[in-house]
Amino acid sequence: MQRFEIYRPGLLWVFAFVSLFTLTSTAFGQEQGGPADETEGTTAPASESASRSLVWTGTGERSLSQTFPEAAVWLELEENERALGLFYPEARLPARGAVLVLSDEGETAASGVTGSIATGLASRGWAVLTLGLEAPSPVLTEVLMRPALEEPAAEPGAVEQEASESVMIDVMASENADDLEERYRGRISQALQAGLAMLVERGYEASAVLGVGRASIHVTNYLLEGADADALIWVAPQFYPVDQPELPERLASLGTVLLELYPSGAVDNPTDWNMGMRLRRAGMSGFERQPIPWLSPAPVGLGDGVASRVAAWLESR
């Protein structure tokens, strides 16, 4: 007892000194190590990240690959980028063919009706690869949704300097818009190309391309660019205004069979032709329209009904 009383003051001083030294070292280390850690965690320059954010917002591919590890397939794109696809092998042999499915805008390779369409087709003997469709940023959305209108003619007597300045502004705005749009559409085309190539590598010969909602125009443009697919399928299609005017004539010369599954409750605008009717007027052969029950956003339960229609149509070709 006496020995403890003698050394206790000394022990307390030692403990206080060690604690003070530890706190000082921690604070100093944070000041010195903070910027370095932030630098090491940066994967791209700030300007590049800001530019990319104007084009797309992502589809949670990394977490999706962890949720579906056995189905996940990473597709190599240009500029060292990758896109995630989910592969659903045919549940019945022999395989009837393969279908590449592009999800609606903002949906992943498994969300919305995409996953249930894939499982429905796979259960009917079709191999399926699904891809997500990244939602464009608000800035790019304005670009994509701009009206396809002809520019008004210049008024007589306009001031030459004012007209020149206006032209310069329009040209600059057009160049920026075209760059954003080209990068966005280009990345989607790369993913579709890589997806079809993967299906071919796995031995599937007959292939169809299916787009849900806004994805319909992307799969269509991909085929119009020269991609090789046996059939094109639209599910509740939507199109950007800029793509609509020339689309019927372009598709009429494509020569690929097309199925449009349109919402049964949709009412045609009497003042304008919808896309399906315009395709018929353009004389497109191999085109068929079928109504389907549909809600927006579409619940998962509608996917199997869509798969049933698609499988029956493909097998009748």
Residues 89, 117 contacting (CB under 8 angstroms): no
Query: What are the extents of the domains in the chain?
Result: 57-148+158-316
Report residue 68: phi and psi, to 5°: -125, 65
pLDDT value at 50 more than 70:
no
Least confident of 82-96, 126-140, 266-280: 266-280
- Is the pLDDT at 79 greater than 70, yes or no? yes
Q: What does the pLDDT look like over 105-152, one tens digit per residue?
A: 999 999 999 999 999 999 999 999 999 999 999 999 999 998 876 544
Overall average pLDDT of the 73-92 stretch: 94
> Cα–chain-centroid distance for residue 73?
16
State mean pLDDT over 175-180: 77
Structure-model confidence comparison of residues 118 and 279, the more confident one: 118
Q: Model confidence over 6-17: pLDDT tens digits?
A: 444 444 444 444
- The model's pTM is 0.74
Residue 68: partners with Cβ closer than 8 Å, 6 or more residues away? 86, 110
Mean pLDDT of the chain: 77
Q: State CA 29 to chain mean position distance.
A: 43
The answer for residues whose C-beta is within 8 angstroms of residue 9's C-beta and 6 or more apart is none
Instruction: Compute the average pLDDT of residues 163-189.
Output: 67
Residue 311 has pLDDT above 90, yes or no: yes
Mean pLDDT, rounded, for 166-179: 53
Any idea which of 50-59, 126-135, 271-280 has the lowest mean pLDDT? 50-59
- Whether the per-residue pLDDT at 215 is higher than 80: the answer is yes
* Beta carbons of 257 and 231 less than 8 angstroms apart: yes
* Third-level CATH fold of 57-148+158-316: Rossmann fold (3.40.50)
pLDDT value for 181: 93
Which residues lie below 8 Å from residue 197, measured CB to CB, with a gap of 6+?
none
